[in-house]
Structure 1
Amino acid sequence: MDSLTQIVLGAAVGEAVLGRKVGNKAMLFGAIAGTIPDLDVLTRYIMDTVTATEWHRGFSHSIFFSILFAPVFGWLVWKLNSKEDASWKDWSWLMFWGLFTHPVLDAFTTWGTQLFWPFKTRLAFQSVFVIDPLYTVPFIILLILAFFQKRTSLKRARFIKLGLLISSSYLLLTVVLKGIAFGKFEKALEVQGIAYNQMNTRPAPLNTILWMANIETEEAYLMGDYSFFDSKSIAFKSYPKNHELLGSLKSHDKIKRLIQITEGWYTISEKNGQLYFNDLRFGLISMDKTDTQFAFSYKLVPNGEDLIVEDMPKFKQDAKRLMASLWLRIWGN
């Protein structure tokens, strides 16, 4: 999830664990703990694109990391707050829950997380977008209300409990909505007589009303979208796999790793003699089905025996274009 959401969750968890003893400091250090796992993004400045992508939501988002570093960070915080009525164990417990709830929340997103690192299985329920106001806004309001209460106030504890209850219930609701949307896509494929190998679904940006689907057939991938306000049948757009365009590059180590990262959901496109590796899991850069630019695309540049993989940049105008069309599409086709 986005940084603000993780800060809010970490602060709420910190308050729930240690708020009565240390007051707002529990929120502060809970928020810090909730952001630590995402420091893995710094690897993009020191590692190649493929390695940095592999590391993202890997080791730092694992149970192992939480258990290993909670007492380390807990000791540091304890030393900084030696006058507070909280022990090293107390602070370590706070840091553990701040570190651990971060990847648990990320597991509901499309990218998912390697919660059980060093095992490479990526846990991804794909039921919530990385930024979801319905999850974050009520939570942050209740957190702010709690912040201005005395540490021993019953209202303070109730606000935090309510925030955790509402946010957790919403996450469970998104799983139910995903199941309903999956059924709608499945029925549409059956009605249209489309045979397929596998399908995955995910919410469109910023909401859980509009859902997207990737469907694998023998020669191509189909993409479609469904809103709970739709009145017309679901339309699917076909995108050729073009895996053969890789040629000998398919045996290259970086390509094998990219395929593993995308779990096989990828296409290859060629523009002006240049090859691009497209990650299908996050769809197109816009709601326009005639668009061929994917949200996550990698330029493949052979360099002797090596292969340079460049992450294609994203631009503000693309986001603005997506938001405008997204708002219209949510309300039905």
Structure 2
Amino acid sequence: MDSLTQIILGAAVGEAVLGKKIGNKAMLYGAIAGTIPDLDVFSSFFTDTVTALETHRGFTHSIFFSVLFAPILAFIITRFEAYKNIKDWSWLFFWTFVTHPILDAQTTWGTQLFWPLDLRLAFKNIFVIDPLYTLPFLVFLILAMRQKKGAKKRRFYNNLGLGISSAYLILTLILKGFSYQKFTTALKLKNIDYRSMHTKPTPLNSILWSANVDTENAYLIGFTSFLDSQPIVFSSHPKNHELLGDLVHHPKMQRMIAISKGWYTINKEEDQLYFNDLRFGTMSSSADATNFVFKYKIEVTPNGTPFFIEVPKDKLEGIQLLSDLWIRIKGN
């Protein structure tokens, strides 16, 4: 999830664990701890693209990290804070650390919660930025913050924020199930044979959902809104995996394919190959779109090693996509 949401979650969890004893400091330290797992993004400054992608939401988003670093930070904090109970501080840091990846596991990228096991949890039931999740949560956190540390209303507001946000996550799982059923029905009516399908919400909402469908030679992308009145239309994106040639056998290419979970297409533009991670869709809602959200230029060193350069995203294209999606949310 986005940084603001993780700050709010961390603050609310910190308050739930220790707010009654140390007041707003629990929110402050919870908010700080809630952002610490995302410090793994700095690995991109020291490693290549593939390694950075493998590292992201890995070790720092694991239960192992939470267990290891919670008591360490608790020990450090008690060196200068008046409240000296290391056990209580450890619980604050543990729960703020571990709830961060649990929330991230609901998104498309997912998390390696059980690192070092090579298992990435990605339930894909909420977009990384969802105002319906974040804003009510923020309102109740502010209301709690304005109360005295021992006030019943403080705990009530904070628990209400945690409860409503958690209920919304459950709702998105239910909506995901309904959308999956709509997509499977549409594929059956169109007599489309497919191997597998993944569904996910589109940006900033849980009303409009998209599906990636794996067929023999192409991936299909479709959209359905709960306000639709017309049948689902699928766009086709050829896999073009054969364009990789012998590069497909290189270990680094295999790592990139593993990162995409096999959901990738290759396209060629003016003799330049591009690797498209299909899981996150395109920067346009049009059927013939080829500019994927995560698109990488494939370069090859003289010794035959491929390396990847992420293609920058066009802000105007992103704004247009949001405009198109807003129209599409209201139904076809």
1:60 aligns with 2:63: no
Partner of 2:116: 118
Cα deviations across residues 197-250 of structure 1 (Å, max 9, x unaligned)?
000000000000000000001111111000000000000011100000000100
Cα deviations across residues 95-125 of structure 1 (Å, max 9, x unaligned)?
0000000000000000000000001111000
Residue 322 of structure 1 aligns to which amino acid in structure 2?
L
The DSSP-based 3-state class of the residue aligned with 2:289 is coil
The normalised TM-score by structure 1 is 0.98
Q: Distance in 2 between matches of 1:89 and 1:11?
A: 18
Partner of 1:107: 105
% identical aligned pairs: 58
Residue 327 of structure 1 aligns to which amino acid in structure 2?
W
Q: Distance in 1 between matches of 2:93 and 2:80?
A: 14
Partner of 1:25: 25
Shift of 1:286: 1.6
Aligned residue pairs total 331
Partner of 1:326: 325
Question: 1:73-92 alignment to 2 at 5 Å?
Answer: 73-81=73-81, 83-84=82-83, 86-92=84-90
Partner of 1:203: 201
Q: Distance in 2 between matches of 1:38 and 1:78?
A: 24
Q: Distance in 2 between matches of 1:40 and 1:80?
A: 27
The DSSP-based 3-state class of the residue aligned with 1:254 is helix
Shift of 1:74: 1.2
Shift of 1:316: 1.6
Segments of 5+ residues of structure 1 without an aligned counterpart are none
Q: Distance in 2 between matches of 1:45 and 1:300?
A: 19
Q: Distance in 2 between matches of 1:75 and 1:152?
A: 25
Shift of 1:308: 2.0
Question: 1:1-333 alignment to 2 at 5 Å?
Answer: 1-81=1-81, 83-84=82-83, 86-305=84-303, 306-333=305-332
Residue 238 of structure 2 aligns to which amino acid in structure 1?
P
Segments of 5+ residues of structure 2 without an aligned counterpart are none
Q: Distance in 2 between matches of 1:307 and 1:250?
A: 10
Cα deviations across residues 135-156 of structure 1 (Å, max 9, x unaligned)?
0000000000000100000000
Shift of 1:315: 2.5
Q: Distance in 1 between matches of 2:204 and 2:78?
A: 38
Q: Distance in 1 between matches of 2:91 and 2:223?
A: 43
Contact 2:236 2:287 in 1 (8 A): no
Cα deviations across residues 151-186 of structure 1 (Å, max 9, x unaligned)?
000000000110010000100110000000000000
